[in-house]
C-alpha cells in the first residue's frame, strides 16, 4: 500500500514507518519537525515538511496521492503540559486532525489509523467496553478526534482503526531508531539518562494507593506497537476497529527502576518529587479485542517484556548518547520532497 504517516519523524511514528517499509509498503512522512527528528526518518521514505494546522499545506501534501491509507501520529502528547496549557492542546490537536480528515475526504482516502491514548480513562484496568472519561485536555483532544472519525466513516466511507496506547517504550530491536524527546518526560529514557551521568531522576509521587506507593503503568514495546498498526491496517479491509494496545501487565515506577538496575548493572540516581496533575495511580490495558480481531500479540509478556524494553532502550542510548544528535528540528533539510 501507499501510506502517508503524519508525525513519522517522532518516536512511535518513526518505528511504525520502519515496520511499514519492512513489510514492503511505500511510505511518505509528513512532519513539521517541531518535536520530531529528520534523522529518525529512514532514507527509503519520502518526506514532506508541513504543519497540519495549515489546511492549505495539508491539502498540498494529500494532493500528491493517491493514498491507500493515512496513519496519524502528529500532535501534542504530554498530559502534564496539557493541564497547564489546556486550550493550546485542545486547539492544536483538534485543528490538526480536522484539517487532515478534511483533506483525506477530499482525495478519497478510505483507511485511517489513529494514534489515540489510554489518557481517555481515569485509571485502573481498562476494559475494552470502558466509557472514555478524560482527566486531562490531552485526553479530551484525542476523544474529539475519535468522535470526528465516526463522522468521516458515516459521511465519506473512511474506515478507521483507533488504537488507544498505554505506555510505549524501548527502541527498535535492530537498533535503527530510538526514543529522543526534547525535553524528555518519559520514565525509562529519563532513568537511563540519569544512569549515564545526567541529572538525577525525579520520581513523581510515592504516595499513590498502589503496592509500593509509585504509579503503575502498562508498558508496550514500541516495535510491538508498530506491529499493531500494521495488523489494524490490514483489518480495515473488513471494517473499522477501536481497541486498546498494551501488554495487560502493570509495573510500578519502582519496579521499572529495579529492572533498569538489573539489566544495566547500574543504580539509577533518583529523588522524590511531587505528584503531577492528571496522573492516575494505575493504568493497565485489556487488549484482547485487538488480539482476537487481528491475531496480533506482543513478542514478550510479563517481566520478559519489560526486560526487552529496557535492554533495547539501553542499547540505543549507549550507541546514541546524544539521541539523534544536537541538531534542532528545523536545521536539517532533506532535498527533494520537502515543503515549506
Establish whether the linkage from the previous residue to 336 is cis, with ω within 30° of 0.
Answer: no
Do the strands 69-72 and 2-6 form a parallel or antiparallel pair, or are they unpaired?
Answer: parallel
Q: Burial of 190 by CB count in 10 Å (0-12 exposed, 13-18 middle, 19+ buried)?
A: buried
Count of C-beta atoms within a 10 Å radius of residue 205: 17
The pLDDT value given to residue 146: 98
Summary mean pLDDT of the chain: 93
Q: What angle do CA 316, 317, 319 make, to 5 degrees?
A: 65
Model confidence over 155-212: pLDDT tens digits?
999 999 999 998 999 999 999 999 999 888 899 999 999 999 888 999 999 999 999 9
Model confidence over 67-113: pLDDT tens digits?
999 999 999 998 889 999 999 999 999 999 999 999 999 999 999 99
Residue 124 CB-half CA count within 13 A: 9
Over 80: is that where the pLDDT of 332 sits?
no
Q: Where are the domains of the chain?
A: 2-319
Over 50: is that where the pLDDT of 127 sits?
yes
The pLDDT value given to residue 331: 37
Whole-prediction pTM value? 0.93
Catalytic site residue from 138, 165, 219, 324: 138
Residues 6+ apart with CB under 8 A from 102: 55
Strand partners, 282: 216
Name the residue among 197, 176, 241, 233 with its Cα closest to residue 37.
176
Q: pLDDT band for position 336 (50/70/90)?
A: very low
Lookup: cell for 237? 479491509
Establish whether the linkage from the previous residue to 66 is cis, with ω within 30° of 0.
Answer: yes
* Separation between Cα atoms, residue 157 and residue 277, nearest integer Å: 39
Lookup: cell for 331? 536545521
Percent of the chain predicted with pLDDT > 70: 96
Model confidence over 204-257: pLDDT tens digits?
999 999 999 999 999 999 999 999 999 999 999 999 999 999 999 999 999 999
The pLDDT value given to residue 326: 54
Q: pLDDT band for position 337 (50/70/90)?
A: very low
Over 80: is that where the pLDDT of 278 sits?
no
Model confidence over 322-331: pLDDT tens digits?
999 854 444 3
For residue 87, indicate whether it is catalytic: no
* Separation between Cα atoms, residue 82 and residue 79, nearest integer Å: 5
- Reported as type and span, the H/E element at residue 203 is strand 201-204
Backbone angles phi, psi at 215, to 5 degrees: -60, 145
Domain 2-319, CATH among 3.40.50.720, 3.40.50.300, 3.30.70.260, 3.10.129.10: 3.40.50.720
* Separation between Cα atoms, residue 11 and residue 40, nearest integer Å: 8
3-state secondary structure of 287: coil
The pLDDT value given to residue 85: 96
* Separation between Cα atoms, residue 324 and residue 340, nearest integer Å: 22
Over 60: is that where the pLDDT of 123 sits?
yes
The pLDDT value given to residue 124: 87
Amino acid at each position: 500500500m501507499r501510506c502517508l504517516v503524519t508525525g513519522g519523524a517522532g518516536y512511535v511514528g518513526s518505528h511504525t514507518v520502519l515496520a511499514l517499509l519492512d513489510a514492503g509498503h511505500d511510505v511518505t512522512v509528513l512532519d513539521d519537525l517541531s518535536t520530531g527528528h529528520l534523522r529518525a526518518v529512514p532514507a527509503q521514505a519520502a518526506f514532506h515538511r508541513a504543519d497540519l494546522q495549515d489546511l492549505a499545506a495539508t491539502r498540498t501534501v494529500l494532493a500528491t496521492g493517491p493514498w491507500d491509507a493515512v496513519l496519524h501520529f502528529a500532535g501534542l502528547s504530554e498530559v502534564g503540559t496539557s493541564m497547564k496549557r489546556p486550550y493550546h492542546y485542545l486547539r492544536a490537536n483538534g485543528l490538526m486532525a480536522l484539517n487532515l480528515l478534511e483533506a483525506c475526504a477530499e482525495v478519497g482516502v478510505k483507511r485511517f489509523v489513529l494514534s489515540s491514548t489510554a489518557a481517555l480513562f481515569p485509571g485502573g484496568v481498562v476494559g475494552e467496553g470502558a466509557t472514555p472519561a478524560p482527566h486531562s485536555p490531552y485526553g479530551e483532544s484525542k476523544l474529539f478526534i475519535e468522535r470526528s472519525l465516526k463522522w468521516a466513516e458515516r459521511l465519506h466511507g473512511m474506515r478507521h482503526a483507533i488504537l488507544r496506547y498505554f505506555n510505549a517504550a524501548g527502541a527498535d530491536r535492530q537498533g535503527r531508531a530510538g526514543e529522543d524527546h526534547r525535553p524528555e518526560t518519559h520514565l525509562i529514557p529519563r532513568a537511563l539518562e540519569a544512569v549515564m551521568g545526567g541529572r538525577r531522576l525525579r520520581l513523581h509521587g510515592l504516595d499513590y494507593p498502589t503496592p509500593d506507593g509509585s504509579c503503575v503503568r502498562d508498558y508496550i514495546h514500541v516495535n510491538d506497537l508498530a506491529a499493531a498498526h500494521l495488523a489494524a491496517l490490514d483489518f480495515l479491509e473488513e471494517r473499522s476497529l477501536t481497541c486498546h494496545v498494551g501488554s495487560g501487565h502493570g509495573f510500578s515506577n519502582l519496579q521499572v527502576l529495579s529492572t533498569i538496575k538489573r539489566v544495566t548493572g547500574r543504580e539509577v540516581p533518583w529523588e522524590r518529587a511531587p505528584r503531577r496533575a492528571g496522573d492516575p495511580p494505575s493504568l493497565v490495558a485489556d487488549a484482547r479485542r485487538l488480539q482476537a480481531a487481528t491475531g496480533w500479540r506482543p513478542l514478550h509478556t510479563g517481566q520478559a517484556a519489560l526486560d526487552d524494553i529496557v535492554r533495547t532502550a539501553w542499547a540505543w542510548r549507549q550507541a546514541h548518547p546524544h539521541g539523534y544528535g544536537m541538531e534542532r528540528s528545523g536545521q536539517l533539510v532533506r532535498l527533494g520532497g520537502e515543503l515549506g
